[in-house]
Amino acid sequence: MFVARLACALLLAAAGTSPASGGGNPGNGQSLYQTWCSGCHGSASNNLSSVLNGANNSSLLLSAWATYSPMQFLQTAFPSETQPAADVAAYLGTVASRT
């Protein structure tokens, strides 16, 4: 959460409220993103390979991970996908709301 806020501040967005996120934790989502997604998608704000389609949409993430072969390893990387997907979706939501 604080890391997400810091990123907001760096972009001078400085939002005063936490974005609604459907139960996901955007701070945890950001660290998951850095670990598992940024290698291919880079900075989320660049929307490389349409990564922001997953903003606040964990079901799209789950189906993308199942559909696209470069991302299928994620299904085994996460012991349970549901919470990581919700967290990353929430993080992407905070990024999308600033772009």
Binding residues for ligand HEC, per CB under 6 A? 36-37, 39-41, 49-51, 53-54, 60-61, 64, 68, 70-71, 74, 88
Taking the least distance from each CB to ligand HEC, the nearer of 9 and 23 is 23
Least CB distance to ligand HEC at residue 99 (A): 14
- Which of 9, 66 has the CB closer to ligand HEC? 66
Sign of CA dihedral 79, 1, 66, 38: negative
Q: What is the DSSP string of 32-62?
A: HHHHHTHHHH-SGGG-GGGGGGGTT-HHHHH
What is the smallest separation between the CB atom of 25 and ligand HEC, expressed in angstroms? Answer: 14
In total, the chain counts a number of residues equal to: 99
At its nearest, how many Å lie between ligand HEC and the CB of residue 38? 8
d(C-alpha 30, C-alpha 54), whole Å: 13
